[in-house]
């Protein structure tokens, strides 16, 4: 069987010299300039209901010669990105808005392609060679990669750090695959806990990491302090930097947590079942904003692609599947279960349920059903047995993934 090559991105911190910083700033600026020019032209045609022009950057180079000084692939990629944005919009107007004009304050980046070895990495010297940067930029290569470089995206964060994300085409995409210990795993995402997980060995709850909670509190304080400062003052700039750093810290810490947790779950289980988070997202808007913000969607996308990499099955159940309302022991459906009922007593069998544990057990059974080739569970399902140890181990919660 021929394997399709996999693309993987590796992100590294880079340390440009003053001259390179200038070059990057110029390139970011030209990309923004070309984006806005092309977008303006397209939008005008769109408003007049004319055919939308598909210009190339070369068209602008005569009129604006400074565009010739920067990497031409960066500008070509702008054209492609913009055309894709329009295509997405016409395909699905509800999900994709029309592209917007770029501002200097937005995150700055440009993407360049590897053509005839124009991009190289010297692992010994710690240098990344990019088009128009013949001397190479210093790069912190904290991990190696094998494969062909497809493209590199250079970005600058709000707090003034530079990164290069290197896209690699690799044949041996499978990382070391561990034999799963558990056949199935059901995950209920929660507000008080990040997740409640049930697999062959029982149930446990995963807490929101404490450092995230603390980080969010600090973020709130910094936001307040920034908004109080006079715009444009030195103090305001300092406060903006502190805020940007804290934003970066939280997003890194959250990603780290989500990657480790999803990897541990994929390692341990053959089938992973989660619920549709749409309903909970609605619920969330009515409750206080919590550290789960934006974490859920990312977590599910990590589970999904890791499942693919490691040959596991990922199932997302329909939003109408009543994972919380159905008793996992007797199948009784408690229609009047309220959103804030954390525990409930089943009228069918008398069992007292922790809401989240019960939901994760139901999701776990869905996984077993699919895995054994049986019909997936629906409302009128028959009673099922319990997992071997149906205990809820709250204390051992976040130690599991270390």
Name the residues that contact Zn ion, by CB under 5 A.
327, 329-330, 332, 346, 348-349
Q: Angle at which helices 234-268 and 295-309 pack, to 10 degrees?
A: 40
Give me the catalytic one of 336, 354, 356, 394.
356
370 burial (CB, 10 Å; 0-12 / 13-18 / 19+) is middle
Exposure letters 40-79 (e unless 16+ CB within 10 A, then b): eebeeeeeeeeeeeeeebeebeeeeeebeebbbbbbbbbb
Q: Which is nearer to Zn ion, 349 or 374 (CB)?
A: 349
Please tell me the distance from the alpha carbon of residue 118 to that of residue 113, in angstroms, as a whole number: 8
Whether 356 is catalytic is yes
Question: Which of 71, 169, 188, 335 is an active site residue?
Answer: 188
Angle, helices 210-228/234-268, rounded to nearest 10 degrees: 160
CA distance 244 to 247: 5
Our CB check for Zn ion shows the closer of 86 and 344 to be: 344
Chain mean position to CA 196:
20
Q: Is 326 helix (H, G, I), strand (E, B) or coil?
A: strand
Closer to Zn ion by Cβ: residue 22 or 345: 345
**Shortest Å, Cβ 196 to Zn ion:** 18
To Zn ion, the closest distance from the beta carbon of 152 in angstroms equals 57
Is 188 a known active-site residue?
Answer: yes
Q: At closest approach, how far in Å is the CB of 278 from Zn ion?
A: 27
Minimum Å gap between C-beta 351 and Zn ion is: 5
252-261 LR contacts (CB < 8 Å, sep 24+): 253/209, 253/211, 253/212, 253/215, 254/212, 254/291, 254/294, 254/295, 254/298, 255/298, 257/209, 257/212, 258/295, 258/298, 258/299, 258/302, 259/302, 260/401, 260/402, 261/194, 261/195, 261/206, 261/299, 261/401
Among residues 281 and 350, whose Cβ is nearest to Zn ion?
Answer: 350
Measured distance CA(292)–CA(108) in Å, rounded: 27
- What is the closest distance, in whole angstroms, from the C-beta atom of residue 362 to Zn ion in the complex? 12
Tell me whether residue 244 or residue 330 sits nearer to Zn ion (CB atom): 330
Pick between residue 126 and residue 322 the one whose CB is nearest to Zn ion: 322
Give the nearest distance from C-beta 331 to Zn ion in angstroms.
7
Catalytic residue list:
188, 275, 356
């Amino acid at each position: 069987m021929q394997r399709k090559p996999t693309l993987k991105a590796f992100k590294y911190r880079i340390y440009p010299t003053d001259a390179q910083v200038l070059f990057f700033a110029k390139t970011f600026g030209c990309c923004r300039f070309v984006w806005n020019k092309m977008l303006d032209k397209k939008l005008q045609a769109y408003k007049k209901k004319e055919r939308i022009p598909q210009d190339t950057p070369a068209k602008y180079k005569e009129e604006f010669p400074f565009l010739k000084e920067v990497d031409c692939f960066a500008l070509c990629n702008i054209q492609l990105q913009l055309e894709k944005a329009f295509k997405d919009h016409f395909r699905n107007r509800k999900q994709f808005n029309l592209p917007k004009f770029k501002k200097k304050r937005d995150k700055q980046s440009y993407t360049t392609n590897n053509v005839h070895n124009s991009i190289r990495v010297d692992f010994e010297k710690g240098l990344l060679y990019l088009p128009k940067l013949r001397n190479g930029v210093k790069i912190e290569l904290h991990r190696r990669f094998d494969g062909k470089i497809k493209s590199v995206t250079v970005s600058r964060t709000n707090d003034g750090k530079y990164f290069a994300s290197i896209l690699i085409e690799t044949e041996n995409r499978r990382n070391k695959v561990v034999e799963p210990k558990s056949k199935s795993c059901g995950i209920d995402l929660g507000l008080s806990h990040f997740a409640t997980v049930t697999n062959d060995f029982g149930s446990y709850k995963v807490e929101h990491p404490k450092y995230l909670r603390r980080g969010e509190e600090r973020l709130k304080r910094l936001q307040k302090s920034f908004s109080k400062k006079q715009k444009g003052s030195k103090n305001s700039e300092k406060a903006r930097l502190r805020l940007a750093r804290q934003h970066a810290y939280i997003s890194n810490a959250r990603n780290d947590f989500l990657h480790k947790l999803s990897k541990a779950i994929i390692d341990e289980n053959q089938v992973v079942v989660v619920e549709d988070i749409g309903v909970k997202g609605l619920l969330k808007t009515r409750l206080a904003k919590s550290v789960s913000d934006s974490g859920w969607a990312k977590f599910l996308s990590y589970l999904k692609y890791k499942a693919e990499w490691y040959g596991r099955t990922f199932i997302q159940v329909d939003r109408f599947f009543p994972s919380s309302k159905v008793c996992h022991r007797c199948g009784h459906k408690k229609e009047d279960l309220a959103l804030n009922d954390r525990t409930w007593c089943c009228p069918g069998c008398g069992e007292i349920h922790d809401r989240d544990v019960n939901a994760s057990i139901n999701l776990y059974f869905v996984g077993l059903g699919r895995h054994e080739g049986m019909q997936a569970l629906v409302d009128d399902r028959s009673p099922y047995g319990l997992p071997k140890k149906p205990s809820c181990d709250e204390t051992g919660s976040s130690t599991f993934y270390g």
